[in-house]
Chain A
Amino acid sequence: MHNLLDDYAISNALRETSARLKLFLGLWAILLSVSSTTPIAPLFLAITMSLITVMLAKIPGRIYSRLLLVPLSFALLSAGVVAFMHGSGQTLFSLQLFGLNLAIREEGANLAVLLIARTFGGMCSLYFIALTTPMIEIFAVLKTLHIPQSVIELSMMIYRYIFVFLDQAAMIHSAQMMRLGDAGTKNSLNSFAMLCSVLFLRSWEQGERLIVAMDSRCYDGKLDLMEPAKGAKPLAILAVAAYLAAATAIAVLTRGVILL
């Protein structure tokens, strides 16, 4: 009924690679992207990360591009605003609108390009993590990072029941649709309110059933049954190190380059 990022993550081709390594790679790339002062390094990261996600992790290209459309629309909108707002240097483009003089100057244009590049570099790296590392493996990594046990246990159960409630919400929603619960704004609002209250009650009930289910299997405060996080293969570590070194080098070397 619903296809979440996690569903792709579970069947991606890089599933067997160490989650720690993937997290490290993704996080480093995000940091590089958002801290870079020129668009070159973020663009490099955006392109290579996309290639890795689509070619190596075998995430279908169609889905990946659709995912990227969301941040793309945001980035383009805000870049447009930024381009017109910042002004110094040569005017590249100007127009008269209702007596207002709107102009894009060099600085504004540079900033807009940087904004788009950073957003893209960051998003591609974030999607790399989201599409190659299922939540369950992130839990395992969290555990090795000594995050408090109860926090991890809670998040694991929340994670599990997100799907149960998504199914329930989808079912209630279609039950409402079948009886024309979406006919008109008033009806839609009413249906939505009902959906929320029913979901709340159901989650309450589910909580009680959860306790019974745990108790009937001798719950004793233990849920630490994590498979140990897998170690990374030397070759993978080497490849990631080389890639990150190259990306960092590009970021450092192109520090002073001004495009326009």
Chain B
Amino acid sequence: MTIILETRSLSYSYGDGTKALKDVSISLEAGKKVALVGPNGAGKSTLMLMFNGILRPREGEVLFRGRSMSYDAASLRSIRRAVGMVFQNSDDQLFAPTVYQDVAFGPTNLGYAAEKVKRYAGFALQYVGLLGYERRPPHHLSGGEKKRVAIAGILAMEPEVIILDEPTSNLDPASSEEIMEMLDELNLGGKTLIISTHDVDLAYRWADEVILMKDGGVVRRGTGQEVFGDAELIRDARLKLPLVVDLYQELAGRSIVRGAKPPRNILELCDLLQPKAETRAGVWGKIYICNVDEIDGEEIRAMLDKIPVDFKGAMGTSAKVMAEKCGISIDFTYGVIDKCILKALIGKSSIIMTSGGMVEHTLQRIKDYGLESGTKIEAIGLLQ
């Protein structure tokens, strides 16, 4: 457990005297997914701008990997390389005339050779699923695509920490789920992620740690269940309870469910409502997992013909691109593992298409679910 970013009694006021941060002391662990929540004007954006040295604290200090941040040009360069920031408004961030030029901006300024710049930019664009968009100008992109380009521009610099200010504002539900899933994938790859959001459902389900801010200070931090378990606190902070928690509390009040902690997601809520004894053992569906890196479109289609599945899910950018390319209609594009487990519990089988590193994660997640709930769902890795 290493602390990657830390603030010590940080205070900041803007030029006009607005006190935006008051005595903020927090520490963030490497490899975690952190969500900053709080009402408008709570100081979330201000705090984020501190993390990569864009704002300089009036009092207190910011530490990166245990070292106090200094604000000379060379140190700022190394900080900004390690801590990438995606702004809320993509138009603020995308200033180059083409997508490629924008993504290549960071690597070029890090002094990479032309060939290396090209490789990094290409990789980043592929990661966000925008290969083939290189020569498009940003004003010809949709909001979701702009956000992806902005993220690619940061990825190309290989930061350890990525900060995203309201990454899903202005996006439609599917795009925002896709962006969040992409962030999950990045997190699996070892990156620390910090987002700010007003979407409590998203913060609750996605974050390992939730930091609740109000009036420039940190009011509460902990897991989603800890922070959002306190209805009064949440109301005071002008937020609302995540739907799952709200429903759980109403059900608990009617003694319909019992449990020490509110469920994290729909899957857990369903398990609470329908105790294991009641489900008919043995008639669960299976979950097949297919690695799209290892096979081509033809083989996938042949496989889909052979295996009887009721639902198909695609997880990660490359799987979605692949599915679209060979015309496979997908039922689930986000929250795929949970959806497939839910379907397995009602006896339906499904297949999850995903890529490389995610296969392990998927198998592990299904196994963990089995251990936790006592319901062993069969997960079958194909072609492994």
Check if B140 sits within 8 Å of A220, measured CB to CB: no
Which residues 273-290 of B sit at the A interface, judged by CB distance below 8 A? none
- Determine, out of B20-28, B101-109, B209-217, B349-357, the stretch whose residues face the partner at the interface: B101-109
With A210-B92, A225-B104 known as contacts, the answer to whether A215 contacts B97 (CB < 8 A) is no
Min CB gap B139→A, angstroms: 4
Any chain A CB within 8 A of the CB of B136?
yes
- Determine, out of B9-17, B79-87, B231-239, B322-330, the stretch whose residues face the partner at the interface: B79-87
In Å, the complex CA distance between A223 and B97 comes to: 11
Any chain A CB within 8 A of the CB of B207?
no
Check if B139 sits within 8 Å of A217, measured CB to CB: no
Check if A213 sits within 8 Å of B108, measured CB to CB: no
Check if B92 sits within 8 Å of A213, measured CB to CB: yes
Check if A220 sits within 8 Å of B109, measured CB to CB: yes
Which residues 70-95 of B sit at the A interface, judged by CB distance below 8 A? 76-77, 80-81, 84-85, 87, 91-95
In Å, the complex CA distance between A10 and B87 comes to: 27
- Determine, out of A20-28, A54-62, A112-120, A153-161, the stretch whose residues face the partner at the interface: A153-161
Which residues 134-156 of B sit at the A interface, judged by CB distance below 8 A? 134-140, 153-154
Most chain B beta-carbon contacts within 10 A, residue among A163, A220, A225: A225
Check if A218 sits within 8 Å of B93, measured CB to CB: no
Check if B54 sits within 8 Å of A212, measured CB to CB: yes
With A163-B137, A218-B109 known as contacts, the answer to whether A135 contacts B97 (CB < 8 A) is yes
In Å, the complex CA distance between A6 and B117 comes to: 28
Any chain A CB within 8 A of the CB of B100?
yes
**Chain B residues closer than 8 Å to A111, beta-carbon distance:** none
Check if A216 sits within 8 Å of B80, measured CB to CB: yes
**Chain A residues closer than 8 Å to B35, beta-carbon distance:** none
**Chain A residues closer than 8 Å to B117, beta-carbon distance:** 225
In Å, the complex CA distance between A6 and B153 comes to: 24
Which residues 141-164 of A sit at the B interface, judged by CB distance below 8 A? 156-157, 159-161, 163-164
A-B contact pairs, 28 of them (CB 8 A): A10-B136, A10-B140, A136-B135, A136-B137, A139-B97, A156-B96, A156-B101, A160-B94, A160-B139, A209-B92, A214-B95, A215-B54, A215-B76, A216-B54, A216-B85, A217-B80, A217-B106, A219-B109, A220-B77, A220-B109, A220-B111, A221-B109, A222-B108, A223-B101, A225-B108, A226-B101, A227-B100, A227-B134
Check if B95 sits within 8 Å of A218, measured CB to CB: no
In Å, the complex CA distance between A157 and B105 comes to: 13
Check if A160 sits within 8 Å of B137, measured CB to CB: yes
**Chain A residues closer than 8 Å to B94, beta-carbon distance:** 160
Check if B140 sits within 8 Å of A7, measured CB to CB: yes
With A136-B135, A160-B138, A163-B137 known as contacts, the answer to whether A218 contacts B77 (CB < 8 A) is yes
In Å, the complex CA distance between A18 and B104 comes to: 23
**Chain A residues closer than 8 Å to B98, beta-carbon distance:** 136
Any chain B CB within 8 A of the CB of A206?
yes
- Beyond A136-B137, A217-B106: 6 further Cβ-contacts under 8 Å? A10-B137, A160-B137, A214-B95, A223-B101, A223-B105, A227-B135
Using an 8 Å CB-CB cutoff, how does the interface string of B47-84 with A read, 1 for contact, 0 for none?
00000101000000000000000000000110011001
Interface size on A, residues (CB 8 A): 34
Q: How large is the interface on B (under 10, 10 to 19, 20 to 34, 35 or more residues)?
A: 35 or more
**Chain B residues closer than 8 Å to A219, beta-carbon distance:** 109
Using an 8 Å CB-CB cutoff, how does the interface string of A202-241 with B read, 1 for contact, 0 for none?
0000100110111111111111111100000000000000
Min CB gap A252→B, angstroms: 39
Check if B92 sits within 8 Å of A217, measured CB to CB: no
In the A-B complex, the 10 residue pairs with the closest CB atoms: A163-B139, A225-B104, A220-B109, A217-B106, A209-B92, A218-B109, A136-B97, A225-B101, A225-B108, A156-B97
Check if A218 sits within 8 Å of B80, measured CB to CB: yes
In Å, the complex CA distance between A10 and B97 comes to: 12
**Chain B residues closer than 8 Å to A6, beta-carbon distance:** 137
Check if B91 sits within 8 Å of A164, measured CB to CB: yes
In Å, the complex CA distance between A149 and B84 comes to: 27
Min CB gap A161→B, angstroms: 7
Check if B80 sits within 8 Å of A215, measured CB to CB: yes
Any chain A CB within 8 A of the CB of B247?
no
**Chain A residues closer than 8 Å to B134, beta-carbon distance:** 227
**Chain B residues closer than 8 Å to A216, beta-carbon distance:** 52, 54, 80, 84-85
In Å, the complex CA distance between A156 and B97 comes to: 6
With A213-B93, A215-B80, A218-B80 known as contacts, the answer to whether A225 contacts B100 (CB < 8 A) is yes
Min CB gap A133→B, angstroms: 13
Which residues 147-206 of B sit at the A interface, judged by CB distance below 8 A? 153-154, 157
Any chain A CB within 8 A of the CB of B243?
no
**Chain A residues closer than 8 Å to B81, beta-carbon distance:** 218
Check if B108 sits within 8 Å of A223, measured CB to CB: yes
Check if B106 sits within 8 Å of A160, measured CB to CB: no
Any chain A CB within 8 A of the CB of B110?
yes
Min CB gap B15→A, angstroms: 12
Min CB gap B61→A, angstroms: 19
Check if B137 sits within 8 Å of A223, measured CB to CB: no
Closest to A168 in B: B91
Closest to B89 in A: A209
With A217-B109, A218-B80, A219-B109 known as contacts, the answer to whether A161 contacts B85 (CB < 8 A) is no
Min CB gap A38→B, angstroms: 41
**Chain A residues closer than 8 Å to B135, beta-carbon distance:** 136, 227
Closest to B153 in A: A217
In Å, the complex CA distance between A181 and B117 comes to: 49
Min CB gap B130→A, angstroms: 16
Most chain B beta-carbon contacts within 10 A, residue among A7, A212, A217: A217
**Contact residue among A161, A209, A210, A218 (Cβ-Cβ distance under 8 Å from B157):** A218
